[in-house]
Amino acid sequence: MAQVFVRFGVRVTLVEGGDRILSRDHPLTSKHVADQLVEEGLELRLGVTAQRIRAGGAGRIVELSDGSAVEGAELLVAVGRRAADLRALGAEDAGATLDDRGQAVTLPNIEHLRMVLQREFRMARFALSDAAAFFAALRTPGGERRIGCAFVGSNHYWLLSFDDRITQGLSLSMPMRALDVTVLHDVLLQRFLGLPPDVQKQKLTYTVDEEEALRRVAENQCQAAFFLNPTTFQQVADVCQSGETMPQKSTYFFPKLLTGMVFYKL
């Protein structure tokens, strides 16, 4: 993999904890491969290991066991067949998303994700230069339910349309299945993106500012942003009457009354 990037003109540093690469092969084979990589422009660091990762420099800085450091715009970690726990290296501080085992959680390839989502959703795409049309279509009244998406690496905003069939099979009440936020958490994030509830709680942030959300995706500060239509009063009433609690951040409205005016007799 390192050789591929080097041949595309990318500056690459390969860090190897052993005294040579390809340690399972014959030493002469290892030497010839290493010499070829160095000749092609790869910087090879042998006998050192990564101690910590942090954001900085061109993007990521890796502190090594000999006290030196290397930096680069991207970091590729090769962990073999048994994935390593990256929490000890501080990978989360450098912007990585990890699950409860300390292993990296990444979004699928954008084109593959688009094809998979189109099996379950009706998708409309909008140019990144036309956010106004994207949000106007999201808010258009009608029988269809909609969720808007912006992904790092995509050249378009995606508008996903669906109906009540999308939540068939979920072990939830009808009032809960009628919420768009349920589709976001249980269908999009968990089923399609592979993010279990514990990871969602750790990694999701919320904003009511649409422009801020788009900017954070454009500046690679987050991997994706999702836009939902407001929950209706009837949906809130249906959930409450069924004895359930609304999902987090699903009841935002403005302006809000002071809490005391709602809960206490005046």
Would you list the DSSP string of 32-52?
HHHHHHHHTT-EEEES--EEE
Residues 234 and 119 occupy one common structural domain: yes
Q: Could you count the other beta carbons within 10 Å of the beta carbon of residue 167?
A: 19
- My answer on whether 151 and 82 are in the same domain is no
**Domain boundary at 60, 89, 118, which?**
89
Residue 253 in domain = no
Say what the pLDDT of residue 157 is: 96
Question: Is 211 part of a structural domain of the chain?
Answer: yes
- The answer to whether residues 160 and 147 touch, using CB atoms and an 8 Å cutoff, is yes
Under DSSP, the state recorded for 66 is: T
Domain-terminating residue out of 25, 59, 89: 89
pLDDT value for 92? 63
Instruction: Say whether both 57 and 117 belong to one domain.
Output: no
Residue 68 lies in a domain: yes
- In-domain check, residue 150: yes
Same domain, 136 and 230: yes
Residue ending a domain, choose from 54, 89, 124: 89
Q: Residue 94: its pLDDT value, please? A: 60
Give the chain's residues under pLDDT 50. none
Report pLDDT for 124.
95
**Number of structural domains the chain divides into:** 2
Q: Are residues 73 and 131 in the same domain?
A: no
Edge-first strand order for the sheet with 59-64 is 50-56, 59-64, 69-72
Print the domain residue range for 209.
110-241
Is residue 247 a part of any domain in this protein? no
Dihedral sign (CA 49, 52, 55, 61): negative
CATH number at residue 69: 3.50.50.60
Task: Give yes or no: residues 49 and 79 share one domain.
Answer: yes
pLDDT for position 88 = 66
Q: Which CA distances in Å does 30 have to 17, 24, 36, 60?
A: 14, 9, 10, 28
Same-domain status, 168 and 65: no
CA–CA dist 217, 26 (Å, integer): 46
> According to the model, what pLDDT value does residue 54 have?
84
In a domain, 105, yes or no: no
Q: Which pLDDT score is estimated for 264? A: 59
* Whether residue 183 sits in one domain with residue 68: no
Task: Check whether residue 69 and residue 131 sit in a common domain.
Answer: no
pLDDT value of position 255: 62
In a domain, 98, yes or no: no
202, 232: one domain: yes
Same domain, 147 and 216: yes
Answer yes or no: is 225 within a domain.
yes
Statement to judge: residues 211 and 120 lie in one domain:
yes
